[in-house]
């Protein structure tokens, strides 16, 4: 009995640790990478001779940063239960931010000088980001709370690609010291693909293990109980 209680407590502690890490990384990356764009500057060299490129990055980065910061709080059950109105308001701001950031990103992706393989990764992200946001909105309008949760997990994992992309970039730049033939353009492209695919896999693993598997096990158990319970005499199946 006590081992069950302990393991639950440990699991809770783990969840809070992971949530804290997620929130700190989200706020840190948004603060460091987005703030320069609010003051006419940038953290990476931007070719300002490309028409509309810098402006599209500003229109993209500001709402994307906001979505990144709002996300973690929306997943805290106690906050949702105690302040349901705040959850709804922040949820709307989050979704509008995602749509604005995704539309601006589709222009940045069209004109970026960083090459076709990177553009493909960005367009896949844009489509998945918009589709999962639309599904999250549609499901909650129909009061399908569990489905809404699943689509929001998928959507925020894509938002979080902004964090993992920059972590992989940091790692890749270190690798360039070890592998001299490695070019920044290749590191950038592979980081974008790794963040897209890696984050999608993590989201699906979480959804299947934490949300769908317990439901499937519960269903199997209830099916077994029905099969094992004595049937009324004379009722053949
Ligand atoms: C997940 C969907 C996202 C997509 C499809 C996307 C797409 C893009 C694209 C196409 C660019 C231009 C890159 C280039 O030309 O090299 C860009 C840059 C940028 N994005 Fe995103 N982005 C996404 C999420 C985010 C989020 C959540 C943030 C919040 C921090 C963010 C912040 C930025 C910033 C600050 C830049 C300017 C480049 C830099 O300073 O690193 N993006 N994004």
Task: Give the model confidence (pLDDT) of 23-44 as tens digits.
Answer: 999 999 999 999 999 999 999 9
Mean pLDDT of 186-205: 98
Q: Give the pair of three-digit tokens for residue 135.
A: 């599904």
Question: Is 121's C-beta closer than 6 angstroms to any atom of ligand 1?
Answer: no
What are the b/e assignments for 180-207, b being 16+ CB within 10 Å?
A: eeeeeebbbbbbbbbbbeebbeebeeeb
Give the CA angle between residues 61, 50, 67 to the nearest 5°.
10
Cα R_g (the chain), whole angstroms: 22
Nearest to 69 by CA among 160, 142, 190, 131: 160
Ligand 1 pocket, 161 CB below 6 A?
A: yes
Residue 18 to residue 164: CA distance in whole angstroms? 15
Measured from the Cα of 67, ligand 1's closest atom is: 27
- Give the mutation target among 97, 108, 124, 163 for probing the ligand 1 site: most ligand atoms within 8 A of CB: 108
CA-to-CA distance for 222 and 143, rounded, in angstroms?
26
How high is the pLDDT of residue 116? 98
4 band by pLDDT with thresholds 50, 70 and 90:
low
CB of residue 129 inside a 6 A radius of ligand 1: yes
Sign of torsion over alpha carbons 49, 126, 193, 42? positive
Residue 158 structure tokens: 């894509």
Ligand 1 atom closest to the Cα of residue 119 is 10
- Residue 40: left (phi > 0), alpha (psi -120 to 50), or beta? left
Which residues neighbour 101 within 8 Å (Cβ) at sequence distance 6 or greater?
59, 60, 61, 62, 63, 64, 67
Of 150, 161, 155, 164, give the one whose Cα is nearest residue 96.
Answer: 155
Closest by Cα among 61, 41, 85, 72 to 166: 61
Q: Give the confidence band of 219 by pLDDT, cuts at 50, 70, 90.
A: confident
Q: Please give the pLDDT value at position 233.
A: 40
How is the chain split into domains, by residue range?
19-218
Cβ proximity of 156 and 174 under 8 Å: no
User: Where do we find the tokens 């699906």?
Assistant: 204
- Output DSSP code: residue 70: H
Any residues with CB less than 8 A from the CB of 60 and at least 6 apart, and which?
Answer: 101, 104, 105, 108
What is the CA 72 to chain-centroid distance, rounded? 10
* 237, pLDDT greater than 50: no
Which protein residue has the closest C-alpha to ligand 1 atom 34? 61
Q: Average per-residue pLDDT in the chain?
A: 93
List the one residue out of 94, 126, 121 whose CA is nearest residue 107. Answer: 126
Which residue out of 162, 185, 186, 192 has the highest number of ligand 1 atoms within 8 Å of its CB and is therefore the one to mutate?
A: 162
Model pLDDT for residues 54-111, shown as the tens digit of each residue:
999 999 999 999 999 999 999 999 999 999 999 999 999 999 999 999 999 999 999 9
In CATH, the number for domain 19-218 is 1.20.120
- CA angle, 196 as apex, 215 and 163 as ends, to 5°? 100
């Amino acid at each position: 009995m006590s081992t069950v209680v302990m393991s639950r407590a440990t699991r809770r502690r783990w969840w809070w640790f992971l949530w804290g890490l997620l929130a700190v990384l989200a706020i840190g990356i948004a603060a460091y990478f987005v703030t320069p764009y609010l003051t006419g500057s940038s953290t990476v060299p931007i070719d300002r001779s490309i028409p509309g490129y810098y402006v599209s990055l500003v229109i993209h980065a500001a709402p994307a940063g906001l979505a990144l910061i709002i996300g973690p709080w929306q997943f805290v059950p106690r906050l949702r239960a105690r302040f349901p109105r705040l959850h709804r308001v922040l949820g709307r701001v989050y979704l509008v931010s995602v749509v604005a950031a995704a539309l601006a990103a589709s222009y940045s992706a069209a004109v970026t000088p960083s090459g076709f393989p990177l553009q493909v990764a960005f367009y896949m992200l844009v489509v998945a980001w918009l589709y999962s946001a639309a599904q999250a909105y549609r499901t909650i309008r129909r009061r399908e709370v569990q489905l809404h949760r699943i689509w929001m997990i998928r959507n925020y994992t894509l938002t979080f690609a902004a964090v993992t992309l920059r972590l992989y970039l940091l790692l890749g730049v270190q690798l360039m010291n070890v592998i001299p033939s490695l070019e920044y353009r290749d590191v950038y492209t592979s980081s974008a693909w790794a963040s897209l695919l890696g984050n999608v896999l993590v989201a699906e693993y979480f959804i299947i293990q934490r949300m769908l598997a317990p439901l499937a096990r519960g269903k199997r158990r209830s099916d077994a109980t029905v099969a094992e319970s004595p049937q009324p005499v004379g009722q053949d199946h």
